[in-house]
Chains A and B, each alone.
Chain A
Amino acid sequence: MSTAELASRPPSGTTIARAPRERTASWPLVDRIGYLLCWAVGVGLCLIALGIVLYMAVKGIAYLRPSLLVQHPAASVKQSESGGFLDPIVGTLIVAAIGIAIAAPVGVAIAAWLSEYRRPAWLARAVESAIEMIAGVPSVVLAIFGLLIFSQRFLGFLSETDAGGAVSGKSFFAAGAVMSLLALPLIVGSTREGLAQLPDRLREASYALGRTRATTMRRVLLPAIRPEIASGTVLGMGRIIGDTAIITIVLGLTLTNEGIGHAPLISTLRGSGSTLTSYIYTNSPAGEGSAPQKAYAAAFVLLLIVLALNAIVTRLTNRGGPTEDSGRAFRLLRFEWIPWTR
């Protein structure tokens, strides 16, 4: 049969069957039950997850008015007079900024040391364990530890000292510093993963040109993993923004951001205030409880911020584009501050 006579389709009249899905009817009963259970759980989770998101969206949109975003909160029992939540928003931003400002450089430095130097080996292992433990400590415990540290006299300049000489230890400085511990393991983990994925030939090429390890790191390696560092930072920010315990304990909860002293920026940072999370808590029935609508509105704003941060992380970690392998594309969230591949 020469090429010219090659038939291109099966002769008409013959049946063409498409690949069927594996019929579960032939499976043993145990397997079928498992399969159904899987579907039930999956669909149920779907519904609950969507339900939560939609409920928050509906309530939030119902109660959120733009004026709320720019008004200061005021002490009042009546909803219409209790103002907006500008101060909490500003407070959230301040705490996140301080936290990241401390955690990012320190985290990247620690990750770089763990990845490139690692001498002495016992110290490297100990530091890794320490970072893992910091990641696992509950934030309340971090909070009471932070309070202990910052209420020492020698750190009195960072917060308010009352008439009797007792340092309160509660300020934006203190809260930001404790928050940095929340973000640190995420940044370290993310940066280490990024460095581990860099091929050795990058380093070899740089050393072969006579560059020191430090220069290699500064000019070749760290710039190469900017997306990973950024995504770790954003994840850290997300964790900081979502925390309530540290805020309640280490940031003396006042309705508006009240500064201490007169220096322009420092006074705010030395003072106390509130963040979106503490605002939500205070306005819920668990706190002073009189303004659930404001709480919903604030919660919606918080969710939008979290959504935005997630979107940024997605953009950063998908820089490979459509050529990514399926496993990576499905890694829903890199919360793995317990380092995986060590």
Chain B
Amino acid sequence: MTRTRQWATGRTDQRVELSLGALAAVALVLIGAMLLTVLIKAWPSFSHNGLSWFGPGGDVETQLRAMAELKPLPGHSILYFRAWPLIWGTILTTGSAVLIALVVSTLAAVFLTEFAPPAIRRILDPVIRLLAGVPSVIYGLIGILVIAPYIDEHWVSTARRASVSHVVQISGADVMTASLVLTMMILPIMVAITAGALASVPASWREGSLALGVNRWRTIWRVSLRTARPAIVAATILATARALGEAVMLAMLGGGRSFAPNLLDGVTALFEPVRPLAATIFQNSEGLTIAPLAHTVYAIGAVLLVSAAMLSLAGWAAKEQFKRFGVRG
């Protein structure tokens, strides 16, 4: 919608415009300051470890404890840190959650808008809305009080425990549980956005497609979902951002220690503990007064911040792409 831009008339208007503009600039300043301060505080950790900060090399737990006690590990300086288990844990949990949620939410949204009987729709509408707003700590609560003990009792056999006990203790709180609950957390919002987009597809397109002899399922697939693609992409980016930033639930359900689940262990890897980046910040927030620990934690924060910025960029790029075919959104 183009409107002719009028010059502000009168001094009051100019003053208002300036003050509002200044306030808006504050938002800009804020995010800039955030980036700057976090990066500055994180710099010592990065500069000391270099690029191998992101690599493997030892146990994160011992490294962090060494920093907290101000007793450097033998052969390394106090700032020694290798974040690979955290990064791998983040990739595993966020990646699997988003992939599963993408498929499930698309199918569920199609079900909700196309096939579901009106009674089910009426019930699910407020329920999904509620679930989207449920705080993550409640998901963590259910997980840790219900799901984790159940898995611990029934799915983790003694033999399995023994097979990796020389490396790590496995329990019901593990990468699989955490990923599943994370999927459940990001599902409602993806379903909501996708369903909203599907319902906004003009009826004339659906009717036109049916009139050409294309059956309902293919009509949904080739017309409705295609029209809803920008919405699905945006929902995915939104969900990824939320999954990346999820600290509390993953801290509760990840299994209590930072560990890189070893896929070569086969199925047992599903039960190995994990602690993604955000959860690590959360768990170590007590020690922020200790300098080396603080640098490391802020370094992790910097990684998260940069990832969030890149996701934002991806979202913008995706939207530009979709404007080509005149698809709304």
A→B interface (CB under 8 Å): 22, 24, 26-27, 31, 34-35, 37-39, 41-43, 45-46, 48-50, 52-53, 55-56, 106, 109-110, 112-114, 117-119, 123-124, 126-127, 129-145, 147-149, 166, 181, 184, 196, 200, 203, 207, 212-214, 238, 241-245, 248-249, 277, 280-281, 284-286, 292, 295-296, 299, 302-303, 306-307, 309-310, 314, 326-327, 330-333, 335-336, 338, 340-342
B308 to chain A, nearest CB (A): 4
CB neighbours (8 Å) of A106 from chain B are: 23, 26
Using a CB-CB cutoff of 8 Å, which residues 221-258 of chain B contact chain A? Answer: 221, 234, 237-238, 241, 244-248, 251-252
Asked whether A330 and B5 contact (CB < 8 A) given A109-B23, A285-B144, A302-B138, the answer is no
Q: Which of B56-64, B124-132, B263-271 contacts A (4 or more CB under 8 A)?
A: B124-132
Asked whether A242 and B135 contact (CB < 8 A) given A31-B215, A112-B20, A145-B37, the answer is yes
Q: Which one of B9, B38, B112, B316 contacts A129 once the chains associate, using CB atoms below 8 Å?
A: B316
Using a CB-CB cutoff of 8 Å, which residues 11-29 of chain B contact chain A? Answer: 12-13, 16-17, 20-21, 23-28
Distance of A295 Cα from B140 Cα, bound (Å): 11
Q: Which one of B116, B200, B288, B319 contacts A327 once the chains associate, using CB atoms below 8 Å?
A: B200
Distance of A196 Cα from B237 Cα, bound (Å): 24
Q: Which one of A130, A200, A281 contacts B28 once the chains associate, using CB atoms below 8 Å?
A: A130
Q: How large is the interface on B (under 10, 10 to 19, 20 to 34, 35 or more residues)?
A: 35 or more
CB neighbours (8 Å) of A181 from chain B are: 30
Distance of A114 Cα from B27 Cα, bound (Å): 12
Q: How many A-B residue pairs have CB under 8 A?
A: 308
Q: Is the CB of B135 within 8 A of A277?
A: yes
A139 to chain B, nearest CB (A): 6
Asked whether A141 and B199 contact (CB < 8 A) given A118-B5, A134-B30, A147-B288, the answer is no
- Closest B residue by C-beta to A117: B17
Can you list 13 residue pairs at the A/B interface with Cβ under 8 Å? A35-B115, A43-B111, A52-B134, A117-B17, A137-B305, A141-B305, A181-B30, A242-B137, A277-B135, A286-B252, A302-B138, A332-B192, A335-B189
| A-side interface mostly | helix
CB neighbours (8 Å) of B199 from chain A are: 326-327, 330-331
Q: Is B259 positioned at the interface, with any CB of A under 8 Å from its CB?
A: no
Q: Is the CB of B13 within 8 A of A213?
A: yes
Q: Is the CB of A138 within 8 A of B3?
A: no
| B-side interface mostly | helix
Q: Is the CB of B215 within 8 A of A242?
A: no
B→A interface (CB under 8 Å): 1, 3, 5-6, 8-10, 12-13, 16-17, 20-21, 23-28, 30-32, 34, 37-38, 41, 104, 107-108, 110-116, 120, 123-138, 140-142, 144-146, 184, 187-189, 191-193, 195-196, 199-200, 215-218, 221, 234, 237-238, 241, 244-248, 251-252, 278, 281-282, 285, 288-289, 297-298, 301, 304-305, 308-309, 311-312, 315-316, 319, 328-329
Q: Which one of A41, A134, A281 contacts B137 once the chains associate, using CB atoms below 8 Å?
A: A281
Q: Is the CB of A281 within 8 A of B110?
A: no
- Closest B residue by C-beta to A34: B217
The 9 closest A-B pairs by CB, nearest first: A138-B245, A42-B111, A242-B135, A327-B200, A332-B192, A214-B16, A330-B199, A113-B20, A41-B107
Asked whether A145 and B23 contact (CB < 8 A) given A41-B104, A45-B104, the answer is no
CB neighbours (8 Å) of B24 from chain A are: 109-110, 113-114, 123-124, 127
Distance of A138 Cα from B311 Cα, bound (Å): 12
Q: Is the CB of A39 within 8 A of B312?
A: no
